[in-house]
Amino acid sequence: MEKFLSMGNVTRVHFSNPSAEDIKEIVETYDVHDIIEQDIKEINTQDKIDIYDECIFLVLHFPKYNKTTSKYFSNEFNIILGKDYIVTVTKYHTTHIDNIRKQYAEDIAQKDPDEEFKISPYYILYKIIDVMYDKVLVALNKFNIDLNVLEDAIFSKDILNETLLSKLLTKKRNIVLLKHLMLPQSEILQELQKATENFYEWDLDVYFEDLIYKTDKITAAINMAMENTESISTIYNTSANIKTNTIVSILTILTVIVWLMTMITWFYGMNVKLPWQEFANTAFLIIWGMVVISIVMIVIFRKKKWI
């Protein structure tokens, strides 16, 4: 995919993990401010919007999924908006950007006169953010499906293992990351909507309102997912406590039974004259007696629902 793509009088530029030469090329071609150059070189932890005389600079963060670790991490988007160009710089490669570029080029090639407003960097930005938001909504839907599977696994397992715990902790980490990435973006979009009025003649309010609506939808989905995750975490902890208490109860009962048997054998181990010791089958009677006592105790414990 070409880094530079011309569509009408608009230039579309994209770099993934740019080198020093790539950043220098951006700075020299579009004469951007030193602060923008510094922000592109460094990793920003916060979303931001800076408005200059000739351009708007945005820093947004979107989640990227690592299939190996099943974890999300932040993919930083640096965006420079001029009146006739848009430059996007991402920390990591994303196929969504390539797909957007391809689809947009096909739409522009049709040259619909009623859609002249689409040949603008601001509409391109809308398409980029819109596609990324759709990606987040799909991820949240899959997240909730995975939570349901995880909940069923917790109830179906006789023993709660480390795999279930690891998956649950990964889910909690992922949803917290999604929350911190997406929550600040509604405010950024509102500022961007106001800023574009001074840069572009077409009315794009309906598109920005659509993005703000999606951020609200994403926020609601994240909050629900967080509540579900906490609920499943509580279920896991409760199940673990119940199983632990059951094991402790069984061990306590076994201890009592073994203690009784030990007391009987200790009693007949004394070097004094004891009842029935002159009979040859006394040892077998004692063993059977201990077995009967054990069975009786187990029956009593079951009736009391202690085991």
Q: How many residues does the chain have?
A: 307
pLDDT digits (tens, 9 = 90+) for 154-166: 877 655 677 888 8
> Which structural domains are found in the chain, ordered by start?
4-241 (3.30.460.20), 242-303 (1.20.58)
Can you name the residues that pair with 304 across neighbouring β-strands? none
Is 225 exposed, middle or buried, given 0-12, 13-18 or 19+ CB atoms closer than 10 A?
buried
Residue 258 is predicted with a pLDDT of 79
Pairing of strands 85-90, 10-16: parallel
Taken in order 262, 266, 267, 268, the sign of the CA dihedral is: positive
Which range, of 48-52, 181-185, 195-199, 232-236, averages the lowest pLDDT? 195-199
pLDDT digits (tens, 9 = 90+) for 72-81: 999 999 999 9
Do 177 and 63 form a contact (C-beta atoms < 8 A)? yes
pLDDT digits (tens, 9 = 90+) for 265-295: 776 666 666 666 666 677 777 777 778 877 8
Best CA proximity match to 57, nearest among 72, 43, 75, 39? 39
Distance CA 213, CA 207 (A): 10
